[in-house]
Amino acid sequence: MSSENRAAQRRALTQGLSGAIPLVVYQWEAWDGFMIDKLAPHAIVREASPTEDVVKLLDSLPSTPGVFLFHLNVSITESFPLQRHELIAGLHERGWTTCNEQVTDISKQAIQARLMSAGCRSVLGHEDGSADELMIIKSNYNYGGEGERKLPEAIRGRLGIEDLWSSGLEYATSRRDEIPGEAWRDPSLTIERFVGNKRGHYCRAWIAGERTHLIQLSCPDEIKTVGGSELVGLWNARFDSASTLPDPIADGAMTEVIRGSNALALDFGAIDVMLNDAGEPFIVDVNTTPWGRLHTGWEVSGFPDYVHHLSAGSAKALSRSKSLLRPLRILLHSLASRS
């Protein structure tokens, strides 16, 4: 897809989030408490089904075309619904703009491969390398495959969903030479190079059409969770803006987020970015259905501005760093695991 068409998709989604044109959210296990619910409570919600009657769904849509957002809480969606290609073709014939329709595999191995092919930094690990390099072992599917497990086994097979991790959500770090050979060949796992820095800083970005929002966090733990982090800074930005962020680390992370979003054709979602000691950003996680339940304590730190910005309520810029913020302990552990 050309850059002009991608820009048009992002623009249309921003219009849909603002309520200027109809927005249909085609969701599965991803509405109540999710970010899209906060940004677009006015949206027309359609409950998705793998065995969707596509003709019936198309006939149920408003006569005035707008934006149709795929918002499915599983990692592999190329065949969700099973008549996905017919659905997309029918939407385009009726004049609808489809968003996130190209993001059909957010398993960690697939994401890292696509980022690497687009020239982005990749953390994908390999069995060969320095024996003492620290690696991190994760489930290949998002959130440990929780969404996938909610599907009947027969449907999972038809959707191409296989090799679910059986060990829960816990991640683990290990030296390369201490990882058994079978783990490297286990398709339910992803082994990545561990990226970290002495300050424990990392970033999370949300993408919503033309707009993005990035927060920088600090966590002393080796494996980061938002629930165990302090907010360091937060910034609003736009895809169509050439301006840089005042913080060079945040600016580098935002640049990588925008480049990664373009490589993945991500119109809506969240991206986690780890930083090394040189401040270089590495995308480590992508989620097309980010969690969005906000803690009231975030009101002192500009989070209402961020919701307003992403929902296209205002083009107002927001840039705050730790020197301007009262240190904030972010308490929602569920947000870390859901997004």
Q: Residue 126 — pLDDT band, cuts 50, 70, 90? A: very high
Domain limits, the chain: 3-99, 122-193, 201-338
**Of 86 and 234, more confident:** 86
Strands 172-175 and 97-99: unpaired
The residue type of 143 is Y
- 331, 244, 233: which is closest to 275 by C-alpha? 233
- 334, 338, 237, 326: which is closest to 295 by C-alpha? 334
Task: Give per-residue pLDDT as tens, 11-64.
Answer: 999 999 999 999 999 999 999 989 999 899 999 999 999 999 999 999 999 999
Q: Residue 168 — pLDDT band, cuts 50, 70, 90? A: low
Task: Give per-residue pLDDT as tens, 214-227.
Answer: 999 999 999 998 77
pLDDT of residue 324: 41
* C-beta contacts of 179-184 below 8 A and 24+ residues apart: 179/127, 179/135, 179/137, 181/127, 183/137, 184/127
pLDDT at 302 over 70: no
pLDDT at 330 over 70: no
Choice among 9-23, 97-111, 224-238, 287-301 with the minimum mean pLDDT = 287-301
Assigned CATH topology for domain 201-338: D-amino Acid Aminotransferase; Chain A, domain 1 (3.30.470)
Q: Residue 262 — pLDDT band, cuts 50, 70, 90? A: very high
Strands 67-72 and 23-28: parallel
Tokens standing for 239?
């895809």
pLDDT at 303 over 80: no
Q: Within 10 Å of residue 43's Cβ, how many Cβ atoms?
A: 22
Q: Residue 296 — pLDDT band, cuts 50, 70, 90? A: very low
Q: Residue 144 — pLDDT band, cuts 50, 70, 90? A: confident
pLDDT of residue 321: 54
- Give me the torsion for CA of 16, 301, 242, 122, rounded to 10°: -90
Residues contacting residue 215 through CB under 8 Å, at least 6 positions apart:
203, 204, 205, 231, 232, 233, 234, 235
pLDDT of residue 313: 63
Tokens standing for 117?
């092919």
Q: Where are the beta strands (DSSP E) in the chain?
A: 23-28, 44-47, 67-72, 97-99, 134-139, 172-175, 189-193, 201-208, 211-218, 230-238, 268-275, 281-287, 319-321
248-264 vs 108-117: helix crossing angle, rounded to 10: 100
**Of 86 and 318, more confident:** 86
pLDDT of residue 329: 37
Q: Within 10 Å of residue 169's Cβ, how many Cβ atoms?
A: 12
Task: Give per-residue pLDDT as tens, 284-295.
Answer: 999 999 987 544
